Structures are given as structure tokens and as C-alpha cells.
A and B are shown apart, each in its own frame.
Chain A
Amino acid sequence: MSSTTAGSVAPPRVETPFRRFASEFAESRLALFGLALFTLIALVAIFAPWIAPQNPYDLAQLDIMDGRLEPGSVGGADFTYWLGTDDQGRDMLSGIMYGLRISLLVGAGSAVIACLVGASLGMIAAYAGGRTDSLIMRLVDLQLSFPAILAALMILAFLGKGILNVVIALVVVEWAYYARTVRGSALVERRREYIEAAQCLALPTRRIIFRHLLPNCLPPLIVVATMQVARAIALEATLSFLGLGVPITEPSLGLLIANGYEYMLSGKYWISFYPGIALLVTIVSINLVGDQLRDVLNPRLKR
């Protein structure tokens, strides 16, 4: 080891499961690139209010005379709009940074809630078995037999627009994936010796489920969750584009793209083009990470 040549006695590198996982993950350059890209996007989204050149919600900063300017043009007050402006004279770059915030918030938020709901139900189904199991799995089958876009559309048609409503719709659409994944791996893990041992120790059921069963079902759950975040972001964008998602006061990337739709036919491409690129890069970066996670965490591919 190179660090020992420096003279000091370095502690031997213990191979923890996490380190092994990290080094396996890092084998794919593309996945590392995806992870770096996503980290960058997440940072931009989180710190948007501090790093965006303009606050697109602050009407005092907007100049309607600067509306629909081409990318790179200099508006009033010597402000350069690198990605152009929309019809209200909003800087597209700032709009995208703020839009990312909402897209990521909705995507990640719905994925976390759906994961909690779905994983709990899946765990209950696997552990309880019998009628409870078949009831929950029937619900899962029913949910999965309808395309996500339609189910979300139905729910939003009744609930109306709003960030919270979109999150609710996405949770309803997504929970079944988690439930099925967790049930599948929990059914396998349940028959292992360590669960039997825990049961022999007369540990409370709650403890067995959460401290013994759940941690061992995590790997496939993580993979599904990563992919579902990307799906949720894409679905939210689609719903917002259709005018059923987030309200106009809180524009996500999808709504920004929808705003540019009417100007597209007159050749003003940038209002829709750049938010779409941001959306695409976000989804691709998450999918790259997810693909590699699936390979690393798949027990069938263990070397």
C-alpha cells in the first residue's frame, strides 16, 4: 500500500460492505459520470436562490421589454440572458434552476413516500401471508395493470392542480412497484435461518420485521427507488405539460416547456428547448446511476 511508504503506520484498510459496494460501483466510468452530474444538478437545485442570476418570481426584477429575447442577448440593465427569456422577460437560465427545484422535490418526495407506503405494505404481505397477502397483491396487480399516466390523470382530474396533489397522484401510481419488489425479496429472506433464530429468541414481530427482515430486503428496493425517481420526474413533467400538474405560480420544468409551446411555431425554440435539455440530463443521469446500481446490487451477478 502506498500510504505505508510515507513512514507512518496506516491502519489496514478493512473491507466493509460499503467500501466493496463503492468500489464496485466506481468500476463504471459512465455511472460515476452520472452520479457526478446528478450531484451537480441537485446542488444547483438546492442553491438556486443564491446562484441563479435572477429571481424569476420577483416581478421587480423582470422587464417585460426583455420578453422572448434570443439566447445570449443583452437586455436592459446590461443583463446577459445566456439562454434567452420567456414571454414575461424571465431569464430562462434562472427559470430552469428554480424549475429543477420543483421537479426534483416532487420526484424525490413522491418516491420517498411511495417507498415508505409500498415497502410497508409489501413487508406486511410477505410476513402475514394468507388473505392479507392475496388482498394486497390483488391491489398491486390492479394498480400495475393500468398505465401510470392514466391513473395519475384520473386522480388529478378529481383533485385538481397543486404540488401536493401531484405528489399524491405519483405516490398512488408508484407504491405498487415497491410493494411487489419488497414482497418478493422478503418472501425469500423470511425462510432464512437468521429469521428463524430471531423468532426462536421470541423477539417482537415489529423488531424482526424492521431490524432483521427489512435491512436484508434493501438492495433491490434501492434499485427500484432510483429508477422510480427518474420516472416520477418524467411523469410530473408530462402532467404539468398537459396542464394538470403543478400550478402556474410554481413552474416545474414541464410547465416551462409547456409555456414555450405556443412560441415554438414562430421559431422561438429556446423557451421549450433548454428546460427540456435540463429535464433530459436529469433523467439520464439518474438512469445511469440506477443501471449500475442494479448490476452491483444484483446477487445473481455476484463475482
Chain B
Amino acid sequence: MTVFLLRRLIQAAGVVLAMSLLVFLGVYAIGDPVEILISPEADQIERERAVKALGLDLPLWQQYLVFLGRALQGDLGRSFVFNEPALQLILQRMPATLELAFGATFVALLIGLPLGLYAGLRPKSPLSKGILAGSILGFSLPTFWVGLMLIMVFAVQLGWLPSTGRGETVEVLGMRWSFLTRDGLAHMVMPALNLSLFKISLVIRLTRAGVRETMLMDYVKFARAKGLSPSRVTFVHVFKNILIPVVTVVGLEFGGTIAFSVVTESVFAWPGMGKLIIDSINVLDRPVMVAYLMIIVLLFITINLVVDITYSVLDPRVRLEGKS
């Protein structure tokens, strides 16, 4: 187990290193680093001094080592626009994104589980077919367009919900959260629903497939033969067992949700990490871009690592396969 862990950790470190090299090359080799790192208002003398100070006269591989050394100390440069450390800027926006992603996951389970359960228990009913068709639509609909339509219907036409922003926030544990206030929750409903659209379809499909398989199992037949009430069979015997794969997949999808919140945040002007990166790209605030990319890479590698390790704990075959 320890060997497996070590191997995995070394692999993950290797990937981080490779990605940092890619990001470094992306910024330093494709674009002109002087333009990226030095403010455009600097004059010639300042420019030369900065080139020297930043080590841009060194060969590329040495520059990379310097970049790496700084990144390890958590120094990923300062934002041109906000004049703050890029890392700090992103970490400030992180709660908003996490809040939205958790909200979306919650909505997906809240809507997807009952619908999937119904479609699985009564596969022939017209409503089930409607649910299934709806889930296909959920995979096909362009998310950003649905977001716009939500704004149009619920904010512009009906005026029920606020269209953009985060609303009132409360500070807990040094971070600002929307979901604790009524106004914040009202602001969160549409973005969370929009972000969860794809996941709702996913949960419906998984739950439906799970229910249809589990209903044929011997223990379900036995529970019925014992004379247990249908609702007890459904909720205790069937539902509990299908929850495991559903929760696993939804958990795995969490990283994807954070990634896709880039789109939702832009539509609803939700001030999270995703909105920040889009704004930064549009004004070419490259230190923020680099910092965001590095954080996302780290985040995803951590998620994948945790998933791998969890699997190997649950299923020893995974570990053995790695050895042979």
C-alpha cells in the first residue's frame, strides 16, 4: 500500500511538473515575457532594469527554474489590473465558486434522484419516457444559452429572481458566503440550476439504470416475498444500494462542475474564479491567468489522486494491477 501511495504521489508530482512546464512555455515562449510581466507604461531604462531583475536575460531553462522556485513559495506574480498577488486574488474568489458548485450538486441530486427513481420503477409509463427524453435534452442543450433563457424568463419577464451578481453575503470563517442570506439564496437559484443542468441528466440516467438493475436482484425479490411494504423495499433496499454509484459519479464530476462554472459565472456575473479568469484573459492580465491555470492543474491532480487512492483502498485489484 505504501509503495502504491508513493508511486502515485511521484506520478502526480511528475504531472504537476509537466503542466508547469507547459504553462511556463505558454506564457514565456509564445508571448513576449517582457510585455507580460512588465507594465506597459514602463520606459526603456525601467524596462531594462526589470528584465535584469526578473532574470529574463538568462537562458530559458534557468528562467524556468526561477519560475518554479517562486511558484513553490506561492509567488505566482502580481495582477496588472488589481495590483495584488495573483494567488491571493484567486483564493478570494474561491468561496463563491465552491458555493455555486456545491449548490449545483445539491440541486442535481434533489431533482435527479426522484425523477430517476420514478423512471426506473415505472419504465413503461409516459411520464418516464418524458423524463428520459428530457435527460437527453439536458445533455444537448448549450448551457450558456439556457442560462440566458432563464434570465429572460425569470428575471426579465416574470421578475421573480435577480438576474446577476451574488446578492447579500455573510462573513463566516473569514470568507463571504451567499447561501446564508435570503437575498443571496435568491441570487443563487438560477446559476445553481443552470450549472446543474448537465448533472441532473446524469443523475437521472444513473439512478434509472441502477433501479432497473437492482429490482431484479435476489435480495429485492426476497424482501418482497417477506411481505415488506413496497415503499420499504424501494427506499431501504433499492434506494440505499443505488446511492453508492450515484454519489461516486457525482463526486467525480465535482471537478468538472468547478471547471464548467466558468460559463455559468460569466452568464450570471457571479464573482467567482471562473469570471475572474475570463475577465483576465480578455484584458490579458497574464499573471492571474498563469496562477489560475496552476491552481486548477493542482486541483485536478489532487482530485484524481484522491479518487485513485480511494479506489485502491476499496478494490485491491487496482493496486495489484499497478505492480505487474
Contact = CB atoms under 8 A, between A and B. Distances in A.
Contact of B137 (A158, A254, A269, A284): A284
Contacts of A265: 151, 155-156, 163
B306 to A, nearest CB: 12
B31 A158 contact: yes
A266 B293 CA distance: 36
B266 interface: yes
A241 interface: yes
A269 B153 CA distance: 10
Nearest to A141: B304
Interface string B12-54: 0001000000010011001100000000000000000000000
A238 B151 contact: no
A244 interface: yes
Interface size class of A (residues with CB under 8 A): 35 or more
28 contacts: A142-B15, A146-B259, A149-B262, A149-B263, A150-B259, A157-B289, A158-B27, A158-B30, A230-B140, A237-B142, A237-B144, A238-B142, A243-B278, A243-B282, A260-B148, A264-B148, A264-B152, A265-B155, A266-B156, A267-B156, A267-B157, A269-B152, A280-B140, A280-B141, A280-B142, A280-B145, A283-B142, A287-B136
B242 interface: no
B255 interface: yes
A3 interface: no
Nearest to B163: A265
Interface stretch (A6-14, A208-216, A271-279): A271-279
Interface size class of B (residues with CB under 8 A): 35 or more
Interface string B279-304: 00110000001000100100010001
A147 B152 contact: no
B14 to A, nearest CB: 10
A241 B262 contact: no
A267 B155 CA distance: 10
Nearest to B144: A241
Contact of A244 (B30, B260, B281): B281
Interface string B298-321: 001000100000000000000000
Given A145-B300, A234-B142, A243-B278, 5 more contacts: A159-B30, A241-B144, A242-B266, A264-B156, A273-B152
A273 B153 CA distance: 12
Nearest to A234: B142
B140 A283 contact: yes
Contact of A273 (B149, B157, B262): B149
Contacts of B154: none
Overall SS of chain B's interface: helix
B219 interface: no
Contacts of B300: 145-146
Contacts of A261: 148
Contact of A147 (B31, B156, B255, B277): B255
B289 to A, nearest CB: 6
Contacts of B163: 265
B29 to A, nearest CB: 10
Nearest to A145: B304
Interface string A229-261: 010001001100111100000000010010011
Contacts of A242: 144, 262-263, 266, 278
A187 interface: no
Nearest to B27: A158
A266 B163 CA distance: 12
Interface string A263-302: 0111101001100100110011001000100000000000
Overall SS of chain A's interface: helix
A145 B11 CA distance: 14
Contacts of A145: 300, 304
B139 interface: yes
Q: From A159, A242, A280, name the one whose CB has the most chain B CB atoms within 10 angstroms.
A: A242
Contacts of A267: 156-157
A142 B22 CA distance: 13
A111 to B, nearest CB: 16
Nearest to B157: A267
A153 interface: yes
Contacts of A198: none
B143 interface: yes
Contacts of A291: 136
Contacts of A266: 156
B114 interface: no
Contact of B260 (A149, A241, A284): A149
Contacts of B31: 158
Interface in B204-236: none
Contacts of B259: 146-147, 149-150
Interface in B124-142: 136-137, 139-142
Contacts of A164: none
A238 to B, nearest CB: 6
A117 to B, nearest CB: 18
A287 B139 contact: yes
Contact of A287 (B140, B263, B266): B140
A38 to B, nearest CB: 13
Contacts of B69: none
B256 interface: yes
Q: From B26, B136, B142, name the one whose CB has the most chain A CB atoms within 10 angstroms.
A: B142
B262 A150 contact: yes
Contacts of B26: 154, 157-158
A266 B304 CA distance: 44
- List of 6 A-B pairs having minimum Cβ-Cβ separation, nearest first: A147-B259, A276-B145, A158-B26, A150-B259, A147-B256, A157-B281
B277 A153 contact: yes
A20 B87 CA distance: 59
